[in-house]
């Protein structure tokens, strides 16, 4: 029987039941992919982060209940929180090696952890799919862009909060959907919908800010911004735009510590 430590962390929040929960499992060596997927399915969280120590830091992978994914912000933050707080890690920066997006770093300053992620561009869409507006329950938007995901820009935070999407209806779009607007008490707010995934609305989406930060940095003429994801759980992010990279800061709170027993 093999025993593996298990952590559940609320990322992008300093409060229990806030932000976005992720499971984290430190490994001494990589297990077969099908076993990692079964573990993620058993954990039944939006993502499980697995990591193995290497010469430069740690190799990091992320699994949903359906498959391995190429990038996850909140599970990276959760993994860094575990390493800094519970694995007796002495440095103030972690280097994660990933399979799809190269090296990622997470630095620590007090209670705040900062992800260093790639910046993603999104191109303007002149004729957005009618299905996009229909499934969001809106008639128009200030702007629609598309990159890794759809980004729908609305006028106000209240409009973003009022969205009641038809998630199943979005599946033919073939992409996730991010809705955003200027914030009342933050530079910008957002929500993130995941058609076809086990979690219909992601509570706080670090990777979406790889697209949101360059967009709002350009629109607002700022490089340092405060953001909030206005899901039911909600989460606060400190954002910085550095050309081809973005810095995404957040806090994290341990919810659960346990053991996984593999027989």
2-119+249-262 and 123-232: identical CATH topology: yes
Which DSSP state fits 128? -
The mean pLDDT of the chain is 97
- C-alpha 69/C-alpha 208 separation (Å) is 14
Tell me the pLDDT band of 120, cut-offs 50, 70 and 90.
very high
Tell me the pLDDT band of 61, cut-offs 50, 70 and 90.
very high
Residues in contact with 53: Cβ distance below 8 Å, sequence separation at least 6, in sequence order:
none
For the chain, the domains span 2-119+249-262, 123-232
Percent of the chain with pLDDT over 70: 100
* Cβ-contact 150, 176 below 8 angstroms: yes
Q: Which CATH architecture has domain 2-119+249-262?
A: Roll (3.10)
* Cβ-contact 78, 22 below 8 angstroms: yes
Tell me the pLDDT band of 208, cut-offs 50, 70 and 90.
very high
pLDDT tens digits, 228-262: 999 999 999 999 999 999 999 999 999 999 999 99
pLDDT at 105 (0 to 100): 97
Model pTM score: 0.95
Q: What is the DSSP string of 158-211?
A: HHHHH----HHHHGGG-S-EEEEEE-SSSSEEEEEE-TTSSSSEES--TTTHHH
Selecting among 47, 85, 93, 155, the annotated active-site residue is: 47
Active site residue 47: yes
Record: fold of 123-232: Diaminopimelate Epimerase; Chain A, domain 1 (3.10.310)
**Beta-sheet strands, E only, within the chain:** 2-11, 20-27, 48-53, 58-63, 68-69, 93-97, 103-109, 112-118, 123-124, 143-146, 150-153, 177-182, 188-193, 201-202, 224-229, 235-242, 245-250, 252-262
pLDDT tens digits, 67-90: 999 999 999 999 999 999 999 899
Q: Above 90 in pLDDT, residue 198? A: no
Tell me the pLDDT band of 197, cut-offs 50, 70 and 90.
confident
């Amino acid at each position: 029987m093999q025993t593996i430590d298990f952590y559940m962390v609320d990322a992008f929040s300093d409060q229990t039941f806030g932000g976005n929960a992720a499971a984290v499992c430190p490994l001494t060596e990589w297990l077969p992919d099908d076993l990692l997927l079964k573990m993620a399915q058993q954990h039944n969280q939006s993502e499980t982060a697995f990591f193995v120590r290497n010469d430069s830091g740690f190799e990091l992978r992320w699994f949903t209940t359906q498959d391995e994914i190429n990038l996850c912000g909140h599970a990276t933050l959760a993994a860094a929180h575990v390493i800094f707080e519970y694995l007796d890690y002495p440095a103030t920066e972690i280097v994660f090696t990933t399979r799809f997006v190269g090296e990622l770093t997470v630095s620590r300053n007090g209670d705040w952890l900062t992800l260093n992620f790639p910046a993603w561009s999104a191109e303007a869409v002149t004729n957005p799919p009618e299905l996009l507006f229909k499934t969001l329950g809106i008639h128009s938007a200030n702007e629609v862009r598309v990159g890794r995901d759809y980004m729908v820009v609305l006028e106000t935070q209240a409009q973003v909060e009022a969205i009641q999407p038809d998630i199943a209806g979005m599946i033919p779009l073939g992409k996730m959907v991010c809705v955003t607007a200027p914030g009342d008490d933050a530079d910008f707010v957002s929500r993130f919908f995941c058609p076809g995934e086990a979690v219909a609305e992601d509570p706080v989406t670090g990777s979406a800010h790889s697209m949101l930060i360059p967009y709002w940095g350009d629109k607002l003429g700022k490089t340092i911004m405060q953001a909030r994801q206005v899901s039911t759980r909600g989460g606060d992010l400190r954002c910085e735009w550095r050309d081809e990279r973005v810095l995404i800061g957040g806090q994290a709170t341990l919810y659960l510590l346990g053991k996984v027993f593999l027989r």
